[in-house]
Structure 1
C-alpha cells in the first residue's frame, strides 16, 4: 500500500490546505502524517521536510522563481506556484534528490492535477533553475539600510518588515545570526517529570535510544538537568515514556518561567493563557501534588489539549477551565500565590519552530496584541495576593510587547520588579537586565527559542 503513495502529492496537498486556511503549518503537516501513519519513517520524513521547507523558504523560493519565469508570481495559478516552489526547494536545498527527479516529478504532478497545458512551462522554469542555480543573482547586502533589508529578506526568507524590525533592534550582524538560527534544523526539547525516579527513568531512556531504528540522538541540556534535546525523532507520541507521562515537549526558554517563579510547596498557581499546558504542568511538577494549579484558556478545544496532557502526565493538582482572560473573574481575586501571564503575542521568537508566523502578522497586529495584553493584565492582576508573584512572559522579541509592557505594569499596577539573576541557569546569569527583573532571550544565543520573562511582586499596602 505504501508503495502506491506519492510523497510529493501529499506535500502538495499540505501546501494547498495551508493556502486556504489559517492553520498553523505543523498542525496541517501533523494531520497529514497521522493520516499516512503506515508509511515508512523515511517517507514521512521526506513529506515533512519538503512541505515544511517550502513554507519556511517561501520568500527565497519566490525570488528565484521570479528570475526564471516570465509570468509574475501573482498571476500564476496557485497549484502551479506550489509545484514550482516544491521543485525549486528540492533543487536548491535537498541534496538527496537529483535535479532531474525534482523536475520530472513536478511535471508529472502538473499533469495529474489536470494542468496539462502548463507542463512545458513548469519543465522550462525548473530546468533553467537547475542549469543556472550557481548563477542566481542574489541581493548584495551593501551598506545601505534598504539593501540590507532586501538581502536579509531574500537570503533568510523573512518579510521585509521583520528584517527592518530586527535590523533596527539588533544590528546587521546579530540579525543575520538570529535569522540563520531560525533556519537551522532544531531538536525536540523535552522536560522529564520529577514523578519518575532515576531508577524508573533508566529503562525508559534505554528504550528511547533504540527508537527510530536506533537513529535517535539524545543530548542532556547544558542549562537544566531535567531537560534533554532529542534529534532524529519520528513521531514523539510513539517514543517510549510518552504515554506513561515521563516527559513533556517544552523548550528551555518556556521552562524558565517556572524556574524564575520560584514556586513553593502548597502554592496556588493561576495560568490564565495556558494551552497546551507546558507551564501549568511544569508548575504542578514542582509543587509535587501539593497546592493547586488553575490552568485556563479561551476555548474548549485548547482546554481539551491541556486536559490530555494533564491526564497523560498524571498530575492531580491541576484544574483546567475554559475562560476568557480578558473577562475579570471576581472569584479569583487574591487567590494566586503566583500568576502566570504568558500572553498571546506575535511569536517572533519562535519563527524557527513556527515559520508560518512570519507570513501571518505585521506591525499593525503587534500593536493590537499589545492592546490585548494590557487588557488581560488589567483584568487579572488582582488575582495575585498582596506579596504574591506575577510572571509576565511572551515568545516574541518586539519592544512593544515586552519592555513597553514591563514598564506599563510598573507604572499602572501595584507591583514592583524582582531581581531574577539567581534564578537563571548557567551563562544566562550574565544577561544584564536580570537585575532589573526581566530577561529577553535572543533566539539561538543559548540554543533556545526567543523569549521574554519578567517577574513582579504585588505591593503590600
Structure 2
C-alpha cells in the first residue's frame, strides 16, 4: 500500500481519537485489523504517525499557531489534523523529505474535500519547514509550567497538579518518560512453559526479546507483526501485561489454599497471574461490570488454559451479601485516571479532567467501602491503580485506614532488592522513570482479626 494511503489511515485514526473520543489503542487496532494487508513497514509508519502525533499534540499546535493567522482553535478539525500529522513528520521523522510531507498534506486536503484550503495547508507547512530550527519554546526559567506543557505536550493543569505532589525535576523526567514509545511487555505463563523456553521460541521467530527489569518471567518484545500471528501467544504461553502490574500478584502473595476475589478484573491480567502463581489450586472469582468486560477475561483464561477461575458479571459498587467475609484475598485494582500509562495511551492526558479525577476518587472510595467487607478477618486487601496521582493513591490509602479495621502491611520482603528502595510503609508508588514501566500504585492491607 502506498504511503499516501497510510497517511490517510493515520488521519482517519486521529480524527476518531480527537473528535469522536475513541480510545487511541482501539482506533489504531481497528484500522490495523481492517487493513491486514499492510506491510510491516507501513504498519510501523502508521502506528508511529498516530502515536507520535498524539504524544506531541500540544507542541504541534504551538508550532502551527506561530505560522498560521488562523489559530488552531478556529481551524476545521480535518485541516488541523492534516497539519498536525505533517508537522510531526517534519519535526520527528527526518527520513521523510520536507517536500514529500508538504505534497502529501496537500493531497490529503484535496481528498478530504478541502480543495480551496490546500494552498493554505501548503503555505503553512512550507513556512514551518523553512523555520523549524528557529522556533523558540517557552522559557523554562520564567514560565516552567508553560515550558513543560509545550515541550512534552501535557495540559498545564496536569503539570500544576503534579507540582503539588512532586518536585519539578521529577515531573520533568516523568513527562519525558511518558512520551517514550513503549515496547510490548509479556508475562510468561509458567504453567505451560519455562521463561527460557519461551524466550528461545520467540527468538526463533525473529522476534526481539529483552529481559524484564523486575521479574525473571517478564520480557519486552518487539519487531513482530500481529500479536495474533505469534504461535506462542495463541498457545497461551504468554500474556500481555506491564511489569508494574505483575507486582500486584507478587505483593498479594496468595497461598494455594486461598479463596481470592478480583473485583474489577478485566481484561484478566492480574486474575490469570494469580492463577498461575498458585499453580491453579486457589479458588479465584473474577468480576467486572459488564458482559463485554467479562468476555475479555474469559478469552484470556481460555487461551492461557487456566481452570481455577470463575467469571461473574457484577458491579463492584453493589454490595454482595453472599461475599461478606468469604475471601482470603481481595484484589481492588480500581478505575482511575490512568496517568501512569500515558506512554501506552497518550490520549488520556487530553481527555481526563480534574473534575473527573475528583469523581474517580469518590468512586474508588465507594467501591472500597463495599468490597472491604468481603475480606475475612486476618485476610488481605490489595488496593492498586495505574496512576501516579496521590489524590487517588496515598490519600485514599490514608482515608481507608482511618475508616476501616485494616492496617498496612510491609511489602519489602515480597519484592526484589531493586524495588525495595521505592517501598513505603505498606505501599509502593512506581513512577515511569524508575524501571521503564507504567506508573503504578500498590498497597497491601491486613484486616484486623
Short-chain TM bin? over 0.9
Q: Out of 185, 190, 212, which is 2:186 matched to?
A: 190
Q: Distance in 2 between matches of 1:286 and 1:97?
A: 48
Residues of 2 paired with 1:32 and 1:442: CA distance? 31
- Cα drift, residue 201 of structure 1: 6.0
The answer as to 2:167 corresponding to 1:171 is yes
2:376 and 2:128 mapped to 1: Cα distance?
63
Q: 2:359 aligns with which of 368, 372, 389?
A: 368
2:203 to 204, 209, 212: 209
1:51-62 alignment, distance < 5 Å: 51-62=50-61
2:263–2:287 CA contact under 8 A, matched in 1: yes
> What SS does the aligned partner of 2:434 have?
coil
8 Å Cα contact 1:273-1:341 kept in structure 2: yes
* 1:352, distance to aligned residue in structure 2 (A): 1.1
Could you give the per-residue CA deviations for residues 200-236 of structure 1, whole angstroms, max 9, x where no partner exists?
962x53342244xx3x321112311111111333322
1:457 maps to 2:446? yes
Correspondence list, 1:26-425, <5 A: 26-142=25-141, 144=142, 147-198=143-194, 202=197, 204-211=198-205, 214=206, 216-425=207-416
Deviation (angstroms), 1:34? 0.5
Q: Deviations over 1:350-387 (max 9, x none)?
A: 11111111011121111110100011011111110111
Indicate the RMSD between aligned Cα atoms, in angstroms.
1.4
Question: 1:128-148 CA deviation, whole Å, 9 max, x = no partner?
Answer: 110000011211101x4xx10
Unaligned runs of 5+ in 2: none
1:30-53 alpha-carbon deviations (Å, 9 max, x no partner): 010010011111011111111111
Query: 1:131-180 CA distances to partner (integer Å, 9 max, x unpaired)?
Result: 000011211101x4xx1000000000100011112233222211111111
Distance 1:91 1:30 in 2: 25
SS for the counterpart of 1:457 is: strand
Contact 1:347–1:395 (8 Å) recurs in 2: yes
Structure 2 CA distance for partners of 1:392 and 1:432, relative to 1, 3 Å: closer
Count of aligned pairs: 449
How much has 1:5 moved relative to structure 2?
7.1
Q: Write the distance in 2 (CA, Å) between the matches of 1:59 and 1:131.
A: 21
Checking the alignment, whether the CA contact within 8 Å between 1:207 and 1:240 is kept in structure 2 is no
Q: Tell whether the 8 Å contact from 1:181 to 1:444 is kept in structure 2 after alignment.
A: yes
Q: TM-score, normalised by structure 1?
A: 0.95
Q: Deviations over 1:47-67 (max 9, x none)?
A: 111111111111111000000
Partner SS, residue 144 of structure 2: helix
The aligned counterpart of 1:443 is 432
